[in-house]
Amino acid sequence: MGIFGIMRTGVSGMAAQASKLSAAGDNIANVNTVGYKRASTEFSSFISEGNRSEYNSGGVETKTRYAISDDGVIMGATNSTDLAISGKGFFVVTDAGGTPYMTRAGAFVRNGDQDLINSAGFYLMGYPLTNGEPNVIANSLDGLERVNLANIAYESTPTANGWLKGNVDSNSPVIPAAELPSGNAANATYSSKSSIVTYDSLGNKVFLDVYMAKTANAVPALPGPPPVPGSPDTWEAVIYPKANANAGSGGFPYAPAAPLATIPLTFDGSGQLTTAPATANIVLPGGNTMALDFSQVSQTGTDTSLQLEVDGNAPSAVDDIEIASDGTVYAVFENGARLATYKIPLATVPSPDQLTPESGNVYSVNQMSGDVIVGFPENGQFGSLRSKALEQSNVDLANELTSMIESQRSYTASSKVFQTGSELLDVLVNLKR
């Protein structure tokens, strides 16, 4: 091919080394970019076709490859929405226009609209749990929404269940019928009293007074021996709204007089509750019904010790976000309640290293990478999520600096080839002189 072939070969070498230097430069610039994947330039020889009787100088071809499937080091972080993937998979994100991408950059924060976005401005996508577990299509991103906490900022849950736990004293005296709490007399007496807060359908607090009173010792059939300690006894549990208590006494008589519920309880000789069913449905002020479970109450010879627990919560602002390793996003309210709101999926493709890199440290699917595969963390081929953690770039700074020096030397050598060809061409041009 002659002198011009020599010069073109030199240019080819310089272009190839410039490409390698560019890749090294990008890697060095992004050595601290969360989730960045190292680029490299691979060389292959290029042979020119021509006269086989003489050597035809060709050149070098380059191809850029990305180490997308190589994991970076996972480091701890302070933000609960900083996420890292331990194992296989990518976060599904979208730009402002809704175009989906995949990324390993998990530095997410809440914006002014309560969306989770990363440092490049991409929105984290997830399946809403409003209607229960999501229906995932393994090869489609349909059904995904932006993870947004704005609509649950003041979530409240009415009380639906209550549990009375502990023991009543078998040695408590029997309360006369005229003085039982269920009669609501001014002189009503009782064995024990507890107060508890419940929540109506609007999240308002509803305080209840719960009275326990021993109504009778078991009387054996005559003739027979007198009752012995530990024999079956009967009690009553009576519940009043605290708002109806007498202003002067703070208790009896309540007005209106009718209690919310009166539940008879019977204990056998061993102190076990024999009342069936052991659950009472109580309509609370506000309209919602609470199922109060007494099955964990027993009778012993010690002082009465009862504890009443209920579910539900008042309206409360979202104080924090917790993200479990399986991708479930929990809104944590100021009162300590937790609510599952979204489930974050992971996506992958058959050939991750063939994904197309885009600006913002994201990747798009192409024909070479294969179609997207969607699933949940800790399920099948996918890894797990780690909250308060970030995946660092997989760039080795020492290797990149070494590669840069090598490319610089090789570029200089290729330029010498071009310079030599130029000098030979100058000699050829000057032969006429």
Q: What percent of the chain has pLDDT over 90?
A: 49
Residue 45: pLDDT band with limits 50, 70, 90: confident
pTM of the model: 0.66
What pLDDT is recorded for position 27? 92
Phi, psi values for residue 420, rounded to 5°: -65, -45
What pLDDT is recorded for position 256? 86
What pLDDT is recorded for position 219? 56
Residue 314: pLDDT band with limits 50, 70, 90: confident
Higher pLDDT, 155 or 277: 277
Residue 39: pLDDT band with limits 50, 70, 90: very high
pLDDT of 428 higher than 80: no
Q: What is the mean pLDDT of residues 301-330?
A: 87
pLDDT of 2 higher than 80: no
pLDDT of 312 higher than 90: no
Average pLDDT of the chain is: 87
pLDDT of 420 higher than 60: yes
DSSP state of 115: B
Whole-angstrom distance, CA of residue 317 vs CA of residue 331: 9
Q: By the 8 A CB rule, do 72 and 35 touch?
A: yes
Q: What percent of the chain has pLDDT over 70?
A: 94
DSSP state of 352: G
What pLDDT is recorded for position 225? 52
Q: What is the mean pLDDT of residues 364-389?
A: 92
Q: What is the mean pLDDT of residues 35-45?
A: 89
pLDDT in tens, 48-89: 776 666 776 777 888 889 999 999 999 999 999 999 999 999
pLDDT in tens, 190-225: 999 888 899 988 888 999 999 999 998 875 544 545
Whole-angstrom distance, CA of residue 93 vs CA of residue 103: 7
pLDDT of 40 higher than 50: yes
Q: Do the strands 155-157 and 313-316 form a parallel or antiparallel pair, or are they unpaired? A: antiparallel
What pLDDT is recorded for position 222? 45
* Range from 4-8, 143-147, 183-187, 192-196 carrying the lowest mean pLDDT: 4-8
| Residues forming beta bridges with residue 280, ordered by sequence position | 292
Higher pLDDT, 393 or 11: 393
Residue 430: pLDDT band with limits 50, 70, 90: confident
pLDDT in tens, 28-37: 999 999 999 9
* Range from 106-120, 197-211, 315-329, 415-429 carrying the lowest mean pLDDT: 415-429
Residue 376: pLDDT band with limits 50, 70, 90: very high
What pLDDT is recorded for position 226? 52
DSSP state of 110: E
Sequential DSSP letters for 130-191: TTSS----TT--TT-EE-B-GGGTTEEE---EEEEEEEEETTPPPPPGGG-GGGT-TT---S
What pLDDT is recorded for position 152? 75
> Could you give the residue ranges of the DSSP H alpha helices within 226-330?
none
Domains recognised in the chain with CATH numbers: 3-70+394-432 (no CATH), 74-154+317-391 (no CATH), 155-315 (2.60.98.20)
Neighbours of 169 (CB within 10 A): 17
Residue 355: pLDDT band with limits 50, 70, 90: very high
